[in-house]
Amino acid sequence: MRVRKRKGAEELISSHPEYVVDQAHTFKGKWHERFGNDHPIHIEIGMGKGQFITEMAKAHPEINYIGVEIQVSVVSFALDKVLAEELPNVQLLHVDGSSLTEYFADGEVDRIYLNFSDPWPKKRHEKRRLTYKSFLAVDEQILKPAGEIHFKTDNQGLFEYSLASFSQYGMTILKVWLDLHHSDYEGNIMTEYEEKFSSRGQRIYRVEARFNGKQL
């Protein structure tokens, strides 16, 4: 998601350290202390403007959510939503999603969400896709054994690539939706992109995949 630079974004973020975590690396292995409970931790890599993660947090107060986003303006928009809802089970990280081992200990995370990631369609950019094997290795490291990735996209090419990447990595494909909005899946919470694409009649793809064999 590319957005224009938002005036005052950095100031807004710095004024709310209770939600946007400064020096996030200091909480590596200690996120339960940050939340003040031992609830499961789910993270969204590339949270966009925060609609998905805030709505998930509202729907599931028994789960702690952490949104990861590299663009400061985008983080500020997500912060707006969290502030409006006063959600105690959401934290936001203004960090690079490729460096998650700096912020999470091995096995600290229960689930990862990837929603409408950049497809990087050119072959020479394959290594930038968030479902490329090097990203999966990082995900596996921070996830608990048998941790899951839940992935949504409107891009058929990226979806097909991701299914193959998960399989080649040795993951188990648990469930696949080839047309999510015309399926019997219940409880779907949409991202901003998803609402836009769906309104145009575009098909939404979804997959749940599980890592196998990792032991801490």
So which residues are the catalytic ones? 118
Spatial neighbors of 134 by CB under 8 A, at least 6 apart, are 127
Contact 47, 80 (CB under 8 A): no
Residue 179 marked ligand-binding: no
Euclidean distance between CA atoms 208 and 152, whole angstroms: 9
Residue 160 marked ligand-binding: no
Residue 194 marked ligand-binding: yes
Residue 154 marked ligand-binding: yes
Residue 106 marked ligand-binding: no
Residue 172 marked ligand-binding: no
Euclidean distance between CA atoms 173 and 190, whole angstroms: 22
Where does residue 106 fall: left (phi above 0), alpha (psi -120 to 50 degrees), or beta otherwise? Answer: beta
Residue 184 marked ligand-binding: no
What are the two backbone dihedrals, phi and then psi, of residue 176, each rounded to the nearest 5 degrees? -135, 135
HSE (CB half, 13 Å, CA atoms) of 192?
Answer: 15
Joined together, the tokens standing for residue 136 give 């999966």
Euclidean distance between CA atoms 59 and 103, whole angstroms: 26
Residue 139 marked ligand-binding: no
Nearest residue to 81 via CA among 50, 58, 59 = 50
Contact 55, 78 (CB under 8 A): no
Binding residues for substrate: 122, 154, 191-194
Q: Which residues contribute to the annotated binding site for S-adenosyl-L-methionine?
A: 44, 69, 96, 118
